Amino acid sequence: MPVLEREPSRDRNVLPKVPVPDLQQTLSAYLTCVKHLVPEAQFQKTKALVEKFSKPGGTGEMLQKKLLERRDKTENWVYDYWLEDMYLNNRLALPVNSSPVLVFPKQDFRDRDDSLRFAAHLISGVMEYKAMLDRRTLPPDYARGQQAGSELCMEQYYHLFTSYRRPGLKKDSLITQSSTGAEKTPEPGHVIVACNNQFFVLNLMEKSRRLNESDVLTQLVRISKMAEQAEEKRPPIGLFTSDGRTEWAKARDMLLKDPVNRESLELMERCVCVLCLDEPTGLQPTDSNRALLMLHGGGHDKNGANRWYDKSMQFVVGADGVCGVVCEHSPFEGIVLVQCTEYLLKYRTRSPSKLMKRSSVSDLPAPQRLSWNCSSQILSMLSSSANNLQRLVRNLDMEVFTFRGYGKEFIKKQKMSPDAYIQVALQLVFYRDAPGGQSPPTRAPPPAVSVTAASTTSARPLPRRCTSPKP
């Protein structure tokens, strides 16, 4: 059902909290799984430890009590554990390893101005969607399948344009700005535009008025011309965000010693989103190449430096028609990204751009170019980040195939979830190819129905031996 046809969202506080599983049920399920994984003697030792753990007044009851207290004091007792373990403690680079992407249909731009018109219209859609989020008027999502009709928690949607993942030496931080709410007039904020590996501030309000689509186009054209000025070019600092998190954190600490860099980093953290105006890569725009370019930009010699991976939403508009969106995964699950992207794609058809050319005269101030003062040590670190990105690009092999035998409707007619069907298919392929017929470690997040701040449910398959209990 299209977003605009749904009813306005109700207060999320009506949704119940995530429950704490019963201690005895948890321990019983644990023993049932372990029994088929270990020899009998080892199982008996494990069983004895579990019984000791679960004794009245013992460690189990004490820890269960603390979890219950945590449940009462927080919206979602498991959220912070999940966020830190799954994302913030992870030291791997964000591109390829963590950040999901969506590839738009291939666009046939006649020239660079045509791609900038597309980008201006896209930003207009982002502004409209953000306004609904700020005013809390975005219609709610509802579950499908067995629990169809149950309202889902909408909290993650409010993190789409307000979140930023700040690197740390041992653990990252998820920075979330507060959104305004229905009783206030939301500020539109600013977009960071990446062009030719440079970064520019596109304010969405100038001289006390909101920019319209024509204004945005005028500013994008200005940015495109400013990015061509070789004498003003700055180092491609965006490469740092593609590196391992600890490496980026060290470089960031070095950058922060200079006040100019601190101001630039602050503007990056507070932006609504990043708009990446990519250069043509010369690659054939096959499905596989477009997906690869969206995942990592093609490396530092293509558009890999024209990114800022810490920001939750990056919209990519390539002059060669390669377009899509890259997201930082920690603030929200994939379905939130999908719903937002579907809205923006429908916005293009529902509200087609009427821009034929940009305004020749404008009283808007010129966009601000972000400046960076870099020591020789910072430049050396930047060179290392460029090399690490190239290694990441070389190590990724991917081929996109289109299966035309049947689609999701056939799977639904078999009374199966298309997502679950694909998960099982992947498991089967791995089982057939892996030595000894082992199933791989896999995580798949089922939708959390009718619970507050729901982003933490997870389904994991049992190893093959668990599915064949001894008689």
Amino acid at 287: D
Amino acid at 379: L
Nearest-angstrom CA–CA distance, 68 and 119: 48
Answer yes or no: are the C-beta atoms of 419 and 406 closer than 8 Å. no
| The dihedral sign for the CA sequence 263, 266, 271, 277 | positive
Answer yes or no: are the C-beta atoms of 211 and 120 closer than 8 Å. no
Kindly write down the DSSP assignment for every residue of 151-165, as one continuous string: BBP-GGGGGTTTEEE
- From the CB of residue 466, how many other CB atoms can be counted at a distance below 10 Å? 15
Nearest-angstrom CA–CA distance, 156 and 162: 10
Judging by DSSP bridges, how do beta strands 198-203 and 368-369 pair with one another? Answer: antiparallel
The residue written with tokens 């670190």 in the block is 381
Answer yes or no: are the C-beta atoms of 102 and 325 closer than 8 Å. yes
Encoded tokens for 218: 């005028």
First and final C-alpha spacing in the chain: 48
The residue written with tokens 């599983």 in the block is 21
Encoded tokens for 399: 């081929």
- From the CB of residue 74, how many other CB atoms can be counted at a distance below 10 Å? 15
DSSP letter for 223, please: H
Residue 159 falls in the annotated catalytic set: no
Beta strands in 107-237 (DSSP E): 163-166, 173-176, 190-195, 198-203, 205-206, 209-210
Answer yes or no: are the C-beta atoms of 87 and 329 closer than 8 Å. yes
The residue written with tokens 């740092």 in the block is 240
Can you give 450-469 as a three-state secondary structure string? CCCCCCCCCECCCCHHHHCC
- From the CB of residue 164, how many other CB atoms can be counted at a distance below 10 Å? 19
Nearest-angstrom CA–CA distance, 387 and 247: 13
Kindly write down the DSSP assignment for every residue of 318-380, as one continuous string: ETTS-EEEEE-STTS-HHHHHHHHHHHHHHHHHS----SS--S---PPPPEEPP----HHHHH
Provide the annotated active-site residues: 329
